[in-house]
Structure 1
Amino acid sequence: MSDPSFTPILQFGTSRFLQAHADLFISQALDKGQALGKVTVVQTTDNPDSARRVQALASGAGYPVRIQGMQDGQVIDQQHWSSSIQTALHADRDWQRIRQAMTREVQVVISNTGDKGYLPDAADTPASLASDAPAPVGFPAKLLVLLHDRWQANPYAPLSLFPCELVSRNGDVLRDLIIALAQDWQLQTAFASYLRETCRWANSLVDRIVSQPIEPVGAVAEPYAIWAIERQHGLLLPCTHPCMVVTDELEQYEQFKLFMLNLGHSWLAERWLVDQRPGAETVYQAMNDPLLRQSLEDLWEQEVLPVFAAKGQGAQARDYLASVRERFLNPFLEHRIADIAQHHEQKKRRRFLPVLQMAEAGLEQPKLNAALHR
């Protein structure tokens, strides 16, 4: 029997990011009749902070999202109310209910399971597929059991999955992970075909800085937000929203973020380390230091933008850079450079080296070269 209280959107993860990103988008789309419906949130871990959020979200009363920052040269300080989450469940406690709903009501799955969310757990085995089995430990096994239930109930039932983890081509990565786990469990080849051909795994890029929580639930976030989703036949969106972009050029969005926003952060961290700048310095403070600001502007102008111009993306890159500049100049955000500087050498290699490799012959990039080899 269907669960009339269940929603067409199932979300794994209770993060403040999703509250101020996808969940807020869905809430605003619902107000305009442009969303599939409301969201059921599932807590997948025993994290006590997540448990408190689940308790606060379970009533469906909604929560505040405060938007603070710069947009089009104007200071923004607004409060919104998000009402897209109908209820919140815990996987261990409500597993049977979630399994039943997955066979019928759910049309879209959203996930944001953290840095280790894709790691399988050795404790998970095919015994989890039994009808009375408790929830598996790891997220991959949880998702596999739910998809297997759905396939058994209706092997032709489509499903669109939107992983929001910060992994390049996250949809492909999660799909391949689930198929590999199904093979490890020696499940039917027809089920693997269902995962590969009937389910739609969206590759996407999410971006919005969520600066602090509002207790017990809610968040403070910057005005800038994007959910760039790679176009795919048969993909069912949870909603339509001005901050959602369906594109054939997802790689361009990834490169813009990595090689302008992230690269800019790492350049400030490089100067912070080399020049032994104040320990508590923030991005906003750094951007208001004329010499440091000019070094970053010169880096963008002389060593990064020409790389995109050579690819025919110069105008789009400049538009994106204008948004990055406003984000760095957000007077409300205390983004400490010391935090950005963690794992600095690895970040430099990921953010600086590809820009050098992408550059056409003849383009001088002395700042990036010096920083990379320092």
Structure 2
Amino acid sequence: MSETTPILQFGTSRFLQAHADLFFHEGTPARAVTVVQSSGDPERARRLAHLAEGYPVRIRGISEGKTIDEERHVTSVRRTLSTAADHAEIERVMIEEAEAVVSNTGDRGFEPADADTGPVFDQAMSYPAKLYHLLAARHAAGGKPLDIFPLELINGNGDVLKARVREIAAGQGALPELIGWLDRCRWVNSLVDRIVSEPIEPAGAVAEPYALWAIEAQPNVAAPTGHPSVIVVDDLEEIERLKLHILNLGHTALVHLWQAQGGDDRLCVDKALAGELGDALLAILEDEVMPGFAVRGMEDAARDYRDTTLDRFRNPFLHHRLSDIAQNHAQKVERRIGAFLDWVRAERPDFPAPRLDAIAGRNAGAVS
């Protein structure tokens, strides 16, 4: 008989291999995982067959000014299944073993599918609909409510997933007892961050040293394992602001500066940071971004995060081209730079940020 697995994970991505699954391997307590492929994608199915054999994660980059290049062997995945072929076994694991559900099904993983209105489990359903039917089966079998940790890059991901599952339940005519049970499950908002740069075949990944799984506190919720990269915080907003307005803003400002120079499509972030573009970015961060965080009472946290971010940008093993970051640049400027200016000027309307204003195409001091 296979080992009991308290973690039921939906998603097979290299991000999960080098993030949550690595933490479950290294954490206290170590947690055994059943990985479920929900997409039916043949390429991912090939990877699935190798995960339970154990796989390498290579950590390469800069941490506190030191070069890191090491390999870890991950054995947290004990069983692999597919919704396309193993629904009955997945349902059994949900009913008999699961204590927590983890998912990373892509940014569009919560979007409705036509099949979601069907009365029984269907491979064509979206992840929230598949999850609803599995949770309904657990409820019908007398199972306890459990913790649900979506890791999709969606603001308020726990709240969004809960709302979608409740919507599906209502459409299915679920009885009040089941609705109440779903509400007693803990739908947890999380923010995750790690650059996982490339796969290792047939399973495994190369990742940077930095990693974060921030969990928003709520009653009766604990981190699924103890690990230095897994933290519980009262409010995710501070971490979200740091990531969006330092790391993401830094990438977008660097792209703007690069484009203004008629940039080389082959230029990567680490090389850009070592030249004139890097000097210009450092000036923006020091003269405009750090003072903006100071206005919001976050200067110390911002300076620490900036230093960590610059280590990440200087990673010589990560071939992160500015031409790739430049995709959807206009939208990124507004979300990362325009939103930063709005956030700071909501507190201090006359806050000076001439270089960020120029990148955002705004008149100095204007609030949109």
Q: Do Structure 1 and Structure 2 share a fold, with TM-score over 0.5?
A: yes
Counterpart of 1:354, as a letter, is A
Alignment check: 8 A CA contact 1:172 1:202 kept: yes
Which stretch of the first structure deviates more once superposed, 44-53 or 346-355? 44-53
* Separation of aligned partners in 1, 2:130 and 2:25: 27
Aligned twin of 2:221: 235
Aligned twin of 2:294: 309
Counterpart of 1:227, as a letter, is W
**1:323 pairs with one of 302, 308, 316:** 308
* Separation of aligned partners in 1, 2:33 and 2:5: 6
* Separation of aligned partners in 2, 1:162 and 1:356: 32
**1:195 pairs with one of 182, 185, 197:** 182
Alignment check: 8 A CA contact 1:228 1:244 kept: yes
- Deviation for aligned residue 1:126: 4.0
Aligned twin of 1:165: 152
1:66-105 to structure 2, matched below 5 A, reads 66-105=58-97
- Deviation for aligned residue 1:299: 1.0
State the SS of the aligned residue for 1:150.
helix
The answer to whether 1:43 aligns with 2:37 is: yes
After superposition, the C-alpha distances for 1:148-195 in whole angstroms (9 at most, x for unaligned) are: 11111226x120011000011110111111111111222112222222
* Separation of aligned partners in 2, 1:72 and 1:315: 17
Alignment check: 8 A CA contact 1:230 1:248 kept: yes
- Deviation for aligned residue 1:336: 0.6
Which stretch of the first structure deviates more once superposed, 218-227 or 175-184? 175-184
Aligned twin of 1:118: 110
- Deviation for aligned residue 1:49: 2.1
- Deviation for aligned residue 1:236: 4.1
Alignment check: 8 A CA contact 1:108 1:236 kept: no
After superposition, the C-alpha distances for 1:298-328 in whole angstroms (9 at most, x for unaligned) are: 1111211112112221111111111000000
Counterpart of 1:175, as a letter, is K
* Separation of aligned partners in 1, 2:340 and 2:23: 33
State the SS of the aligned residue for 1:76.
strand
Alignment check: 8 A CA contact 1:160 1:236 kept: no
* Separation of aligned partners in 2, 1:355 and 1:275: 24
* Separation of aligned partners in 2, 1:302 and 1:272: 19
The answer to whether 1:56 aligns with 2:50 is: yes
* Separation of aligned partners in 2, 1:80 and 1:100: 31
How many residue pairs are counted as aligned between the two chains? 359
The answer to whether 1:336 aligns with 2:321 is: yes
- Deviation for aligned residue 1:125: 2.9
Counterpart of 1:46, as a letter, is G
- Deviation for aligned residue 1:358: 1.8
- Deviation for aligned residue 1:127: 2.1
- Deviation for aligned residue 1:349: 0.7
Aligned twin of 2:366: none
**1:223 pairs with one of 209, 226, 235:** 209
Aligned twin of 1:146: 134
State the SS of the aligned residue for 1:172.
helix
* Separation of aligned partners in 2, 1:64 and 1:88: 17
* Separation of aligned partners in 1, 2:254 and 2:10: 34
After superposition, the C-alpha distances for 1:57-79 in whole angstroms (9 at most, x for unaligned) are: 2xx22100000000011000011
| TM-score for both structures, normalised by structure 1 | 0.93
State the SS of the aligned residue for 2:241.
helix
After superposition, the C-alpha distances for 1:4-63 in whole angstroms (9 at most, x for unaligned) are: 54411000000000000000011011xxx523x300000011222211111112xx2210
Alignment check: 8 A CA contact 2:122 2:130 kept: no
* Separation of aligned partners in 2, 1:134 and 1:249: 36
Alignment check: 8 A CA contact 1:95 1:134 kept: no
* Separation of aligned partners in 1, 2:122 and 2:214: 35
Alignment check: 8 A CA contact 2:223 2:230 kept: no
Q: Which runs of 5+ in 1 are unaligned?
A: none
Alignment check: 8 A CA contact 1:352 1:372 kept: yes
The answer to whether 1:346 aligns with 2:331 is: yes
**2:197 pairs with one of 211, 216, 221:** 211
Alignment check: 8 A CA contact 1:27 1:82 kept: yes
State the SS of the aligned residue for 1:115.
coil
Aligned twin of 1:181: 168
* Separation of aligned partners in 2, 1:209 and 1:61: 24
Question: How has the CA–CA distance of structure 1 residues 203 and 209 changed in structure 2, closer, same or farther, with 3 Å as cutoff?
Answer: same
1:22-37 to structure 2, matched below 5 A, reads 22-29=20-27, 33-35=28-30, 37=31
Which stretch of the first structure deviates more once superposed, 206-215 or 307-316? 307-316
Q: Which runs of 5+ in 2 are unaligned?
A: 363-368
The answer to whether 1:364 aligns with 2:364 is: no
**2:19 pairs with one of 21, 29, 34:** 21
- Deviation for aligned residue 1:238: 2.0
Aligned twin of 1:247: 233
After superposition, the C-alpha distances for 1:193-238 in whole angstroms (9 at most, x for unaligned) are: 2222x10011111000001110000000000001111111111432
